[in-house]
Amino acid sequence: MPEYKGMVQPTRASVAEMRKIYIEPVPDELKPEKAIEFLDQIRKKFRSFVLAMESCTKCGQCAENCHTYLGTRDPNNIPANRAELIRKIYKRYFTPEGRWFGKLVGAEDITLDVIEQWYSYFYQCSQCRRCAHVCPFGIDTCEVTFIGRQILHWLGITPKLHATTGAAMEKAGNHTALPKPGIVDTLKFMAEEVMDEFGVEVEFPVDKPGSDILYIPSSADFLLNPYTLMGAGMFFTYIGANWTIPSAVTEAGNFGFLFDQFWTQRGNVMRLLNAAQELGVKKIVWGECGHGWRAAKMYIPTLADRPVRWPLTHIHDEIANLICNNELKLDPSKNSKPVTLHDPCNYVRACGLNDNMRVIMNACVTDFREMSPHGADNFCCGGGSAILFDDPEMYRRRILFSKKKAEQVRATGVGRDGDGILCAPCSICKAQLYPMVEEHELGVEVKGLIDLVGKALVWK
């Protein structure tokens, strides 16, 4: 049962699964002492973490601005308190005030219970950065939970979902463990679908040597969000691009970013750079994936082990650019249902995609209604950082985490007649919202943004 002393916890990876991602779990009796050792190593490296530990004045402003607290009303889900779970240990072992004054300043000895607390609450955080966005100092809880998850991973505590996804990525080059023949077949099938539904002839080249553009789709687009990949195929065909999908990296996501930034995330970056080198491409274009785009755009420059020769952009950047240059003929009336846009957190607070998504939206649909709040102020869908756990306890939490989002969608009125569209251009948002729009009975269909572009393109 994924629960520990009343705290919900996601199902853990087994010892065998941890070994597959090169981690030997630390025995329970050694965990506290090892945790301090790891924390000491890491605090000396990351200033963003040190300042999150040392600057908070506990003003409490983050509480009402965090969807996990709004949904669960669990005090440990207040960002300041979530960080406090590790801050109390940091203070106790690494600051004079914590050593001398202990409980008075909130310092505490480390125990196995504290580590279990980390596991519960750091994996309830969506790492959406809304707390950083609203904090008067800009303290980023993301930096705390990244490091908390990293330490847990080194101790051998990682959710099964994250660990197996990491292993699949290493083996198959995508999170769904889809091998190359499966990818080629799926893409052929997709080309047929495009022909049947849109009357358009599209080819999805895989590993085509001498391509100009390397397109990195989310692997979920092969199975769960086919219209996103179909839309991308139609877009590239429409503009006459010489593009390809690399079979080595059929994954826009990078789960390493979410549980192991040292080995898994870095490994995925090298894998991408190798693929780009082999295929001799000129530019890398990223598909719809929130955390993956942040991991790529903002982290490749500091994780790469060689100079990065390829400019890296998001497909939304490119589509918006062509729209602004009047090069795409789009017919918004093809998307006439009411649409609202869920801003993926990583896009609007970490990657600056805010305006471009709206350029595309306004060109592709007739009835676009903004949520309140939207843009950088937007709330997370509740699935951020892949906390898409299916075990019953965690699933119930996911419903609570998405409560704020459901209220926002409802307030736009797009689902009033049951035919609205909730555009959520990120694979994790989609995976979270597919079931959540049903749980909250929102009367909307979840779609990507490229889905709408593909449908709106005018071919002759």
Among candidate residues 434, 453, 405, the one with its CA nearest the CA of residue 223: 434
**Which tokens in the block code for residue 237?**
């065909």
Sequence-ordered list of residues with C-beta below 8 angstroms from that of 160, at least 6 positions apart, any chain: 10, 11, 12, 13, 14, 17
- Residue of 220, 234, 371, 452 that binds another protein (CB under 8 A): 234
Provide the minimum distance between the beta carbon of 112 and another protein in the complex, in angstroms, as a whole number.
23
- Residue of 188, 309, 329, 416 that binds another protein (CB under 8 A): 329
- Tell me the window of 153-161, 234-242, 395-403, 405-413 that interacts with another protein (CB under 8 A): 234-242
Closer CB to another protein, 11 or 61, in the complex: 61
- By the rule CB under 8 A, 132 interacts with another protein: yes
- By the rule CB under 8 A, 330 interacts with another protein: yes
Closer CB to another protein, 171 or 309, in the complex: 309
Among candidate residues 371, 384, 381, the one with its CA nearest the CA of residue 403: 381
**Which tokens in the block code for residue 141?**
């809880």
The distance between the two most distant Cα atoms of the chain, rounded to a whole number of Å, is: 76
Number of residues lying near another protein (CB under 8 A): 104
- Tell me the window of 14-22, 54-62, 404-412, 439-447 that interacts with another protein (CB under 8 A): 54-62
Provide the minimum distance between the beta carbon of 44 and another protein in the complex, in angstroms, as a whole number.
6
- By the rule CB under 8 A, 129 interacts with another protein: yes
- By the rule CB under 8 A, 352 interacts with another protein: yes
- By the rule CB under 8 A, 229 interacts with another protein: no
SS3 27: coil
Closer CB to another protein, 120 or 176, in the complex: 120
- By the rule CB under 8 A, 451 interacts with another protein: no
- Tell me the window of 9-17, 57-65, 171-179, 407-415 that interacts with another protein (CB under 8 A): 57-65
Which residues inside 83-102 make contact with another protein, applying CB under 8 A? Answer: 84, 95-97, 101
Question: CA-CA-CA-CA torsion for 273, 276, 277, 282, nearest 10 degrees?
Answer: -120
**Which tokens in the block code for residue 120?**
């519960």
* CB-count burial class (<10 Å; 0-12, 13-18, 19+) for 283: middle
Provide the minimum distance between the beta carbon of 49 and another protein in the complex, in angstroms, as a whole number.
7
Closer CB to another protein, 96 or 307, in the complex: 96
Beta strands 283-286 and 213-216 are parallel
Instruction: Convert residues 169-208 into a mask of x (bound to another protein by CB under 8 A) and - (unbound).
Output: --------------------------x---xxxx------
- By the rule CB under 8 A, 109 interacts with another protein: no
- Residue of 35, 36, 39, 56 that binds another protein (CB under 8 A): 56
- Tell me the window of 50-58, 111-119, 179-187, 420-428 that interacts with another protein (CB under 8 A): 50-58
Provide the minimum distance between the beta carbon of 131 and another protein in the complex, in angstroms, as a whole number.
11
Whether the Cβ atoms of residue 344 and residue 426 lie closer than 8 Å to each other: yes
- Residue of 4, 19, 48, 410 that binds another protein (CB under 8 A): 48
- By the rule CB under 8 A, 210 interacts with another protein: no
Provide the minimum distance between the beta carbon of 16 and another protein in the complex, in angstroms, as a whole number.
32
Dist. CA 319–CA 118, nearest whole Å? 41
**φ/ψ bin of 260: left (φ > 0), alpha (ψ from -120 to 50), beta (otherwise):** beta
- Residue of 36, 114, 249, 348 that binds another protein (CB under 8 A): 348
Helices 392-401 and 403-412 cross at an angle (nearest 10°) of 40
- By the rule CB under 8 A, 349 interacts with another protein: yes
- Residue of 4, 38, 46, 93 that binds another protein (CB under 8 A): 46
Amino acid of residue 61: Q
Give the CB-side neighbour count of residue 273, counting CA atoms within 13 A: 16
Whether the Cβ atoms of residue 388 and residue 161 lie closer than 8 Å to each other: yes
- Residue of 221, 251, 288, 317 that binds another protein (CB under 8 A): 317
Dist. CA 318–CA 316, nearest whole Å? 5
**φ/ψ bin of 307: left (φ > 0), alpha (ψ from -120 to 50), beta (otherwise):** beta
Dist. CA 119–CA 109, nearest whole Å? 17
Give the CB-side neighbour count of residue 444, counting CA atoms within 13 A: 32
Sign of torsion over alpha carbons 388, 392, 398, 401: negative
Amino acid of residue 361: M
Which residues inside 58-87 make contact with another protein, applying CB under 8 A? Answer: 58-61, 63-65, 69, 75, 78, 80-81, 84
Which residues inside 276-305 make contact with another protein, applying CB under 8 A? Answer: 282-283, 285, 297-299, 301-303
Sequence-ordered list of residues with C-beta below 8 angstroms from that of 184, at least 6 positions apart, any chain: 206, 247
Which residues inside 136-165 make contact with another protein, applying CB under 8 A? Answer: 136-140, 142-143
- Residue of 121, 204, 222, 238 that binds another protein (CB under 8 A): 238
Chain Cα centroid distance, residue 420: 24
